[in-house]
Structure 1
Amino acid sequence: MKPQTPLLDQVTLPEDLKRFSDPELAQIADELRVETISVVSETGGHLGAGLGVVELTVALHAVFEAPRDKIIWDVGHQSYPHKILTGRRARMRSLRQQDGLSGFTKRSESLFDPFGAAHSSTSISAALGFAVARDLGGVCEGGLGDVVAVIGDGAITAGMAYEAMNNAGHLKKRLFVVLNDNDMSIAPPVGAMREYLAGLYEGDTLQGAAAQAPSLDAGRAAGGTVFENLGFTYVGPIDGHNLAQMLPLLRELKERATGPVLLHVVTQKGKGYKPAEAAPDKAHATAKFDVSTGKQHKAQANAPSYTAVFAQALLQEAEADSRICAVTAAMPDGTGLNLFAERFPSRCFDVAIAEQHGVTFAAALAAGGMKPFCAIYSTFLQRGYDQVVHDVAIQRLPVRFAIDRAGLVGADGATHAGSFDIAFMANLPGMVVMAAADEAELKHMVATAAAYDEGPIAFRYPRGEAVGVELPERGRVLEIGKGRVVQAGARVALLSLGTRLEEVRRAAERLAARGIRPTIADARFAKPLDREMILDLAARHEVLITLEEGAVGGFGSHVAQLLAEEGVFDQGLTYRSMVLPDVFIDQASPKAMYDVAAMNAEQIEAKVLDVLGGDPV
């Protein structure tokens, strides 16, 4: 049953908020909170972050003039209440579904989303860009007025935020940074900055801090904070759930500010919903759930997740080798390293949202004689790519990259898809790149990485439930650069890298009904290639088709280069490469996304028939 929201029902766009008194805005905030809970209970998604910014969202939209004034949400998963207030309430129950609303801010979705942010820590850079564009006479749809960057959920721990503040303090442009300090990232935040922020209001209750009535003048008089030293006027801390204090303060800041201002707002993740307050990490992102109990409706898994298999395999290796350590960037639960941290706390390092630092830190651990496993989502590893090149690959340091969320990931959409890591890792000299076809292969690859000391090595695996094959008691070390033939056949060879192997098997069954029995091979390695196996497949078949859950420029391109250099095409081989298409694929179920990518069994079968000219004989 949808909640009763009589005042919120009168709000279609932010300008409607200006008709209400401040006490009525407080009621709208209450109604917005229950509406957010109701929506996410039906769709699943990021719950805790949005609940923590309900009052802040109402206050910002009541005071500022969006879309002329740009409000940038960082991380974008805080934006569900913002979406409800900006003309998208009727579509909220399509959230994170195919052809529905994105779970993050998205420029193509609404004028009220001036800048997309699905990872983190980009908002201050973007805000400064808008402010400079405004002052230089720039023109954009909706106009250019004030700019507000809301940076929260741990995003302030990333170096990019400080690069932006350094530049903003130098340029002295009028802009507003709202630091949403909820003392949480996805997991509890770590690091000296977290301790510093806590110290700014330690000893005061939120009510006590708020009773001091922060103001622009009080902020200018206070001085001494790291933000003041970077050129910002620091104001706060203020209770982010108290509209009676936030509204007049925001109005004062909008009226009087002349340069960059940082407003420190203290909030509670999951505010107003007891199950989310009690477990802010578990309620960060949820499946559909029962509103009355908070119990999530998760499908019963038939097999462990790839992440869980990686975590258990790494624990086994670490039990046997005290030099193995682990590094994650604010994702201990998401990467499975929370288990490693419990068992080996002195050997597990959460570096906060700082992938660049994490990679270089891991490089020096390797140079110091340790065996670091750097576990980072594929899409987030992109941020550390310069460090992968300069600090790891050039120095041939044996960092082990565990690349989670490889391939298409479902409801999080294009921003979280692991589309590019095969291409950007396999082009580096000396880099070994593996892709697991199933959970047993993943265990073998963890063992292989643990044993490999000749240079950097990476292995990738997807999000979600594994295939369901029997797991070995312990992973075995694979021969570097050697694949395996899974099924012998004729005419057509299907060479798979990664978990498309199951779809290749299904396609082969469909082809067998047509009288075609293809050879199936699992490459295992994108680099180094198994030259012997690939050239043998090329020599014994009319057609060779490679498949990978990655973009053009990856495994298939390396195979094509090998075939060209060896003159195989001159001998009449027909070669095709099935890769992700040259588009960003929006959120849907993983199967639907792979249908769009034309990489499910039916499309693999169709590709074979097309190459053979429809000839099943």
Structure 2
Amino acid sequence: MSPPPATPLLDRVRTPSDMRNLSPEQLKQLAEELRAETIHTVSTTGGHLGASLGVVELTVALHAIFDTPDDRLIWDVGHQAYPHKILTGRRDRIRTLRQGGGLSGFTRRSESEYDPFGAAHSSTSISAGLGMAVARDLLAPLGKGKGVGQNVIAVIGDGAMSAGMAYEAMNNAGALKSRLVVVLNDNDMSIARPVGAMSAYLSRLISSRPFLSIREVMGRLARRFPRPLAQAAKRADEYARGMLTGGTLFEEMGFYYVGPIDGHDLDHLLPVLRNLREADEGGPILLHVVTQKGKGYAPAEESADKYHGVVKFNVVTGEQVKAPPGPPSYTKVFAQALIAEAEADPTVVAITAAMPSGTGLDAFEKKFPRRIFDVGIAEQHAVTFAAGMATEGLKPFVAIYSTFLQRAYDQVVHDVALQNLPVRFAMDRAGLVGADGATHAGAYDVAFLSCIPNMTLMAAADEVELMHMVATAAAHDSGPIAFRYPRGEGTGLELPARGTVLPVGKGRVLREGSTIAILSYGTRLAEAMKAAEELAAQGLSCTVADARFAKPLDTELVERLARNHAVLLTVEEGSVGGFGSLVAQHLAHAGLLDGGLRFRPLVLPDIYIDHESPKKQYDLAGLNGPQIAQAARDALGRETTARPARA
């Protein structure tokens, strides 16, 4: 591990107020030290590096010019917020990022007053910022809030601007005309014209108080003209500036556009931000800054995707610390299985919402570049887009993290299930996700999908089962079907060349016993088997079964387990209202809860589980082998001998 960098100026900054008397040259030095500190931090903790390095100068400038935390600074997603955390009183804990009891990898209201809005999902910043601006405007006359001079600044990346929610918020902001500053961090889409001295000059000019005042005066005069002349004057102003700066789209949505400017040049950033701070009249403003992911660290500049999210790495060489070779990840197995299906069936296509590598579909793209569709951060569109494909006979697989599928729930219900369209949902990151914490945990998909008519639900117990479920989904043409699988490596089983279609709605029994039955749904099956071994060592005979399907439920298997055992446990890595609830409902209707059966559904607790190692997370949830065994013993009470089966 390399020694920490020398940071004499950064050492003097405890909070942003310590920056506001620094000269521009000192702020430049501070930015360099902040970049070095960020690189060293992430080299020891892992996390999101490239995005954070891309906003170092922007972070320094925003905190130097605006009066945070009274002025509200909102970071969209939060991938880029590590420099922000260092400058806002959290430097002494920055090397606890994403570790148990440490700082979150994203912004979080409970962590700091400098985080006015928590984020980890994309494209929420403008909506939240507009809400804060409207609250300021309504509360100030009542003598409440921070007052009319409070600024609200939302920083959103160009990738997040691909989501419809961002445009919905901008449309609303343009109509309300509340004072709000949106900083568009353009680091990938190349929507900007070349950035240089002339652009910087124009940006300073059009963001200045005299220019804004002249524009307002001309606007008032234009309103005294006949309506056609007034409209023509307004259009002439907007299009003239749009031709110079490229901001016509944002102007049409009601924003005053400034930019593009170099997001790494403090000589450009500071005067423009100062002008925007002093622009105390008018509606929303969009500042367009152009940055580079990984700026200032050569390995990250050369490979932005590779250094977006990193594990621990060597600062000097950039080499990431690789874990010892192990079984392929579930994500990789899914991709291999889907490729096998696509090779056999030319109607199989794949859809991702800006996550081709995260979902493994980058491998699919190499084989079938015309049969994969990245729709951007637009989960709602992705689902309805797939529905349209399904109407015409294609077999769309929507590969999406469980936590992100939440964003498209209405489309799943209205556009897919209601029409009984055979869209296939591959839900990655189902269950707990370690260092990414509660914002990315796939806790709710079983509950929110199982209540939808026409839906078929599967959960893979291991990587071979995952391959079978991909094959089953490909063959399933009678309605929507979804399958879930976790983050991380598989169990090391030998994989077939292609999965086998499973009988829909049928589980399997892996171990026969007589006293306790454990019915697992998903990858807690291995822990259920460990629990059975522990119970057997104590003289308690245990059956273990893999449900495979939550819907349709294998009612024959459920009833057999309930009739022939004293205790029935269901185990799943999902919330209340999921698989266990479906089993309980069936048992109740079948009258099998009336005869003394001790039924216990084991689910994720009704709390948000913070970032931690997966083992500790599942210990907390009570879903590892020892906790499952203890739940069985608790259900039996003090008795430890086998009970006779009920008729």
Which of these residues, 618, 621, 630, is aligned with residue 594 of structure 1?
Answer: 618
The residue type equivalent to 1:232 in the other structure is: F
Q: Does residue 181 of the first structure (1) align with residue 217 of the second (2)?
A: no
* Distance of aligned partners of 1:143 and 1:570 in 2 relative to their CA distance in 1, 3 Å threshold: farther
What runs of 5+ residues in structure 1 fail to find an aligned partner? Answer: 184-193
Q: Tell me, what secondary structure is at the counterpart of 2:70? A: coil
Contact 1:327–1:348 (8 Å) recurs in 2: yes
Q: Tell me, what secondary structure is at the counterpart of 2:594? A: helix
Which of these residues, 255, 259, 280, is aligned with residue 236 of structure 1?
Answer: 259
Partner of 2:223: none
Partner of 1:99: 101
Q: Does residue 381 of the first structure (1) align with residue 405 of the second (2)?
A: yes
Contact 2:192–2:290 (8 Å) recurs in 1: no
- Distance of 1:566 and 1:199 partners within structure 2: 61
Q: Does residue 573 of the first structure (1) align with residue 575 of the second (2)?
A: no
Contact 1:68–1:142 (8 Å) recurs in 2: no
Contact 1:405–1:462 (8 Å) recurs in 2: yes
The residue type equivalent to 1:244 in the other structure is: D
The residue type equivalent to 2:547 in the other structure is: A
- Distance of 1:565 and 1:508 partners within structure 2: 28
Q: Tell me, what secondary structure is at the counterpart of 1:77? A: coil
Which of these residues, 316, 319, 324, is aligned with residue 300 of structure 1?
Answer: 324
Partner of 1:266: 290
- Distance of 2:25 and 2:254 partners within structure 1: 35
Contact 1:41–1:291 (8 Å) recurs in 2: yes
Partner of 1:347: 371
Residue 145 of structure 1 deviates from its aligned partner by: 1.6
Residue 614 of structure 1 deviates from its aligned partner by: 3.3
* Distance of aligned partners of 1:540 and 1:291 in 2 relative to their CA distance in 1, 3 Å threshold: same
Q: Tell me, what secondary structure is at the counterpart of 2:79? A: helix
Q: Tell me, what secondary structure is at the counterpart of 1:486? A: strand
What runs of 5+ residues in structure 2 fail to find an aligned partner? Answer: 216-236, 642-647
* 1:220-245 deviation line (CA, Å, top 9, x unaligned): 75146110000000000000000011
- Distance of 1:69 and 1:450 partners within structure 2: 52
* Distance of aligned partners of 1:242 and 1:427 in 2 relative to their CA distance in 1, 3 Å threshold: same
- Using structure 2 for the length normalisation, give the TM-score: 0.91
Partner of 2:579: 555
Out of 262-271 and 131-140, give the one that drifted further: 131-140
Q: Tell me, what secondary structure is at the counterpart of 1:71? A: strand
Contact 1:68–1:144 (8 Å) recurs in 2: no
Out of 606-615 and 451-460, give the one that drifted further: 606-615
Q: Tell me, what secondary structure is at the counterpart of 1:359? A: helix
Contact 2:137–2:148 (8 Å) recurs in 1: no
Partner of 1:315: 339
- Distance of 2:257 and 2:50 partners within structure 1: 26
Partner of 1:191: none
Q: Does residue 480 of the first structure (1) align with residue 504 of the second (2)?
A: yes
Q: Does residue 247 of the first structure (1) align with residue 267 of the second (2)?
A: no
The residue type equivalent to 1:175 in the other structure is: L
Contact 1:130–1:144 (8 Å) recurs in 2: no
Q: Tell me, what secondary structure is at the counterpart of 1:570? A: coil
Q: Does residue 162 of the first structure (1) align with residue 152 of the second (2)?
A: no
- Distance of 1:310 and 1:588 partners within structure 2: 25
**Larger Rg belongs to:** 2
Which of these residues, 21, 24, 29, is aligned with residue 22 of structure 1?
Answer: 24
Question: Mapping of 1:60-459 within 5 angstroms?
Answer: 60-137=62-139, 139=144, 145-152=150-157, 154-183=159-188, 194=189, 198-201=190-193, 204-206=194-196, 209-210=199-200, 212-214=202-204, 215-216=206-207, 221=237, 222-223=241-242, 225-258=248-281, 259-459=283-483
Contact 1:313–1:446 (8 Å) recurs in 2: yes
- Using structure 1 for the length normalisation, give the TM-score: 0.96
Out of 212-221 and 244-253, give the one that drifted further: 212-221
Partner of 1:497: 521
- Distance of 1:332 and 1:103 partners within structure 2: 22
- Distance of 1:213 and 1:474 partners within structure 2: 57
Out of 145-154 and 575-584, give the one that drifted further: 145-154
Q: Tell me, what secondary structure is at the counterpart of 2:258? A: strand
* Distance of aligned partners of 1:268 and 1:337 in 2 relative to their CA distance in 1, 3 Å threshold: same
Q: Tell me, what secondary structure is at the counterpart of 1:262? A: strand
* 1:381-433 deviation line (CA, Å, top 9, x unaligned): 00001000000000000000000000000001000000000001111111000
- Distance of 1:490 and 1:271 partners within structure 2: 63
- Distance of 1:267 and 1:349 partners within structure 2: 27
Q: Tell me, what secondary structure is at the counterpart of 1:547? A: strand
* Distance of aligned partners of 1:144 and 1:452 in 2 relative to their CA distance in 1, 3 Å threshold: farther
Residue 75 of structure 1 deviates from its aligned partner by: 1.7
Which of these residues, 516, 519, 538, is aligned with residue 543 of structure 2?
Answer: 519
Residue 509 of structure 1 deviates from its aligned partner by: 1.3
Q: Tell me, what secondary structure is at the counterpart of 1:109? A: coil
- Distance of 2:129 and 2:488 partners within structure 1: 35
The residue type equivalent to 2:248 in the other structure is: T
Residues paired across the two proteins, number: 602
Contact 2:49–2:294 (8 Å) recurs in 1: yes
Partner of 1:6: 8
Out of 437-446 and 570-579, give the one that drifted further: 570-579
- Distance of 1:52 and 1:261 partners within structure 2: 22
The residue type equivalent to 1:123 in the other structure is: S
Residue 206 of structure 1 deviates from its aligned partner by: 4.6
Residue 508 of structure 1 deviates from its aligned partner by: 1.2
- Distance of 1:3 and 1:514 partners within structure 2: 56
Q: Tell me, what secondary structure is at the counterpart of 1:271? A: coil
* 1:74-129 deviation line (CA, Å, top 9, x unaligned): 12111000000000000000000001000000000000000011011000000100
Partner of 1:189: none
The residue type equivalent to 1:255 in the other structure is: E
- Distance of 1:469 and 1:598 partners within structure 2: 26
Residue 615 of structure 1 deviates from its aligned partner by: 2.4
Residue 616 of structure 1 deviates from its aligned partner by: 2.1
* 1:204-229 deviation line (CA, Å, top 9, x unaligned): 25556335444326797514611000
- Distance of 1:339 and 1:58 partners within structure 2: 39
- Distance of 2:300 and 2:640 partners within structure 1: 57
The residue type equivalent to 1:68 in the other structure is: D
- Distance of 2:479 and 2:77 partners within structure 1: 35
- Distance of 2:426 and 2:20 partners within structure 1: 50
* 1:114-156 deviation line (CA, Å, top 9, x unaligned): 0011011000000100000001117569998210000015111
Contact 1:496–1:546 (8 Å) recurs in 2: yes
Contact 1:49–1:153 (8 Å) recurs in 2: no
Contact 1:392–1:456 (8 Å) recurs in 2: yes
The residue type equivalent to 2:250 in the other structure is: F
Percent of pairs with identical residues: 64
The residue type equivalent to 1:62 in the other structure is: A
Contact 2:195–2:261 (8 Å) recurs in 1: no
- Distance of 1:522 and 1:449 partners within structure 2: 18
Q: Tell me, what secondary structure is at the counterpart of 2:272? A: helix
Which of these residues, 49, 54, 70, is aligned with residue 47 of structure 1?
Answer: 49
Out of 538-547 and 144-153, give the one that drifted further: 144-153
* 1:443-495 deviation line (CA, Å, top 9, x unaligned): 00000000000000000000011111221222000000000001001111000
Residue 298 of structure 1 deviates from its aligned partner by: 2.2
* Distance of aligned partners of 1:145 and 1:392 in 2 relative to their CA distance in 1, 3 Å threshold: same
Q: Tell me, what secondary structure is at the counterpart of 1:339? A: helix
Residue 358 of structure 1 deviates from its aligned partner by: 0.3
Contact 2:158–2:184 (8 Å) recurs in 1: no
